[in-house]
Amino acid sequence: MSLEAKVKEIIVENLGVNPEQVVPEASFIEDLGADSLDTVELVMAFEEQFGAEIPDEDAEKLTTVGAVLEYLKGKGLGED
Amino acid sequence: MNKRRVAVTGLGVVSPVGHDLKTFWERISGGVSGIGPITKFDATDYDTRIAGEVRDFDLDPYIPKKERRRMDPFCHYGLPAAALAVADSGLDLAAEDPWRTGVIVSSGTGGLQILQEQMKVLLERGPSRFSPFMIPQMITNILSGLIAIRFGVKGPNVCVVTACASATHSLGDSLRIIQHGEADMMLAGGAEAPVCELGVGGFCAMRALSTRNDEPTRASRPFDAERDGFVPAEGAGVLVLEEWDHAVRRGARIYCELAGYGRTCDAHHITAPDAEGEGAMRAMRLAYEDAGLTAADIGYINAHGTSTLLNDKGETLAIKRALGPEQARKVMVSSTKSMTGHLLGAAGAIESVACALALKNGVLPPTINYEYPDPDCDLDYVPNEAREVQVQACLNNSLGFGGHNGTLCFKAV
């Protein structure tokens, strides 16, 4: 499964949204109905899935789907 | 003081004996046990392997999947019970003043299962893996908060925690809030989800539970000489309490009046009831006096009747002392825990629902599994079969660890 597909799956599962809503420009809080606790949980789910540690100062910047994808790619994660 | 009167206008249950009022009442009045082998976790190594479980309950109409993952099971029962009660009342809460409706729906132990789950996370994966939803899922008061969010009601909202008397005190305190004029409507009751390793194991360690594992439906046998402990159970009950004139004005169906409330403490021991029954006796007396009644008016008591050796004996004595020898011989007493098991912090709520239906239908539910008389328990326990009789008033007792006693007094309309 590609990085994009895996990230999308986690977001759909955690936020209970439709897969079509999960586009790169979607903001977790404004577009996908997340609250601050949801975003903490979401980052924890990414950490577990990709075996990474995402420091709080990085996590704060991950406000959109696209930002997460770029961040994970930048760390060389999600590539089998 | 001229007290405002309080009507019971809506009932909701999620229980081992059904999730709608019709099924609940058919089983409670028909003497059908809801106790069975534990299926919610592997209970092989536990002395008690039976419980009253909530089975075949579809959460879909009540809680969306995303929300559900963020609630402990006690809220999975409590939130639907509140929705059922509101629907049953016919109230359109969106059209009412939100500041005049409040909530007290409590629990004895709150989010035990999330606590257990997250403890495992801590031990196996370390503190950085705690769920950000652990604390809001675990705290016992979250259910009152969730119910307020669901219905947009902004009046008095607290959580009264008194172990197995939690729901009774929640109802009683809600009565006071309406009487005092702080609110016109209260959603009140309790929810409990103790069928997990921590819940069953903890009560097992106290030797408080029945170990009649081979005969689950016969295990909860309040007042019977062969009783050997209570049977843990899960579920929730919520009642809509409404200021009398408000209910009458909107043409509500009134099940009964919640007319009196008494509460005391044994100040005796952390778990054992006072052998003289002094505290429980006074709670009953205060409740019927608060309702403007005398002992002779009390036709039925839904007893705490847990099926433990000490409770049933002490409560029997307390009833005799509260009503006096003459009325104690006449009064009909039953423990619906013989069918539901002990819902702990939710018990007082589903038993209040049983009282409301008993008064409305003119039928008193039985104490099932009553086979062998105990000389220490010598009242009329409505053994094994419901009785068709319209009583004018009844009491509902709850006695919690910590010595908390609570009694509610309901009057027929």
Strands B393-400 vs B235-243: parallel, antiparallel or unpaired:
unpaired
Which residues on adjacent β-strands are paired with residue B150?
none
Q: What share of chain B is helix, strand, coil (3-state, %, to 5)?
A: 40, 20, 40
| Best residue of A37, A39, A47, A49 to probe chain B, by most B CBs closer than 10 Å | A37
Strands (E) in B270-400, as ranges, are 300-302, 332-334, 363-364, 387-388, 393-400
Contacts of residue B64 in chain A, CB cutoff 8 Å?
A: 16
B232-265 pLDDT, tens digit per residue, is: 999 999 999 999 999 999 999 999 999 999 999 9
* Residue of chain A whose Cα is closest to the Cα of B68: A16
Contacts of residue A14 in chain B, CB cutoff 8 Å?
A: 66
* Mean pLDDT across B123-147: 96
Q: What is the C-alpha to C-alpha distance for residues A69 and A63, in angstroms, rounded to an integer?
A: 11
Question: Token match 């590539």: residue?
Answer: A79
B408 neighbors B302 (Cβ within 8 angstroms): no
* A41·B133 Cβ contact <8 A: yes
Q: Which of A15, A37, A44 sits opposite B129 (nearest CB)?
A: A44
Q: In the prediction, which pLDDT does B335 show?
A: 98
* B132·A37 Cβ contact <8 A: yes
Q: Which two tokens stand for residue A2?
A: 């590609």
Contacts of residue A40 in chain B, CB cutoff 8 Å?
A: 132
Query: With bands split at pLDDT 50, 70 and 90, how would you rate the model's confidence at A79?
Result: low
| Best residue of A36, A38, A39, A46 to probe chain B, by most B CBs closer than 10 Å | A38
Nearest C-alpha of chain A: how many angstroms from B60? 14
Q: What secondary structure letter does DSSP report for B50?
A: E
Q: Which contacts qualify for B37-40: CB closer than 8 Å, 24 or more apart? A: B37/B213, B37/B216, B38/B195, B38/B200, B40/B195, B40/B196
A35, A38, A56, A58: which is the annotated catalytic residue? A35
Q: What is the C-alpha to C-alpha distance for residues B220 and B156, in angstroms, rounded to an integer?
A: 36
Angle at B215 between CA B214 and CA B219, to 5 degrees: 120
For residue B290, pLDDT beyond 70: yes
For residue B115, pLDDT beyond 60: yes
| Best residue of B59, B63, B65, B66 to probe chain A, by most A CBs closer than 10 Å | B66
* Residue of chain A whose Cα is closest to the Cα of B65: A16
Domains and CATH numbers, chain B: 6-249 (3.40.47.10), 260-411 (3.40.47.10)
Q: In the prediction, which pLDDT does A76 show?
A: 85
Residues of A with CB under 8 A from a CB of B: 14-16, 37, 40-41, 44
B342, B355, B394, B409: which is the annotated catalytic residue? B342
Contacts of residue B133 in chain A, CB cutoff 8 Å?
A: 37, 41
B233 neighbors B52 (Cβ within 8 angstroms): yes
Q: Which of A15, A16, A37 sits opposite B133 (nearest CB)?
A: A37
* A15·B66 Cβ contact <8 A: yes
Q: Which two tokens stand for residue B98?
A: 């939100």
> Is B409 a known active-site residue?
no
B304, B394, B404, B409: which is the annotated catalytic residue? B304
* Residue of chain B whose Cα is closest to the Cα of A12: B66
B340-363 pLDDT, tens digit per residue, is: 999 999 999 999 999 999 999 999
Domains and CATH numbers, chain A: 3-74 (1.10.1200.10)
Nearest C-alpha of chain B: how many angstroms from A74? 23
Strands (E) in B20-76, as ranges, are 35-37, 50-52
For residue B399, pLDDT beyond 90: yes
CA-wise closest residue to B334 among B302, B299, B304? B302
Question: Token match 């729906």: residue?
Answer: B105
* B136·A37 Cβ contact <8 A: yes
Nearest C-alpha of chain A: how many angstroms from B80? 20
B188 neighbors B86 (Cβ within 8 angstroms): no
A19-74 pLDDT, tens digit per residue, is: 999 999 999 999 999 999 999 999 999 999 998 899 999 999 999 999 999 999 99
Q: Which two tokens stand for residue B341?
A: 């098991």
Q: What is the C-alpha to C-alpha distance for residues B100 and B91, in angstroms, rounded to an integer?
A: 13
Q: Phi first, then psi: give them for residue B337, nearest 5 degrees.
A: -65, -20
* A16·B65 Cβ contact <8 A: yes
| Average pLDDT of every residue of chain B | 97
Q: In the prediction, which pLDDT does B66 show?
A: 84
Burial class (CB in 10 A: 0-12, 13-18, 19+), B22: exposed
The percent of residues above 70 in pLDDT, for chain B, comes to 100
B44-99 pLDDT, tens digit per residue, is: 999 999 999 999 999 999 999 888 989 999 999 999 999 999 999 999 999 999 99
Sign, CA dihedral B309-B312-B315-B320, equals negative
A7 neighbors A69 (Cβ within 8 angstroms): yes
B327 neighbors B298 (Cβ within 8 angstroms): yes
CA-wise closest residue to B129 among B137, B138, B120, B139? B120
Query: With bands split at pLDDT 50, 70 and 90, how would you rate the model's confidence at B185?
Result: very high
A60 Cβ contact list (under 8 Å, min separation 6): none
Q: What is the C-alpha to C-alpha distance for residues B216 and B194, in angstroms, rounded to an integer?
A: 17
Query: With bands split at pLDDT 50, 70 and 90, how would you rate the model's confidence at B177?
Result: very high
Helices (H), B192-254: 197-205, 244-249
B75, B159, B164, B394: which is the annotated catalytic residue? B164
Least confident of A44-53, B317-326, B328-337: A44-53
Sign, CA dihedral B352-B340-B16-B114, equals positive
Q: In the prediction, which pLDDT does A78 show?
A: 65
B22 neighbors B202 (Cβ within 8 angstroms): no
DSSP string, B102-168: EEEEE-SS-SHHHHHHHHHHHHHH-GGG--TTHHHHH-TTHHHHHHHHHHT--S-B-----GGGHHH
Q: What is the C-alpha to C-alpha distance for residues B300 and B328, in angstroms, rounded to an integer?
A: 10
Q: In the prediction, which pLDDT does B3 show?
A: 84
* Mean pLDDT across B370-381: 98
Contacts of residue B132 in chain A, CB cutoff 8 Å?
A: 37, 40-41, 44
For residue B1, pLDDT beyond 70: no
> Is B342 a known active-site residue?
yes
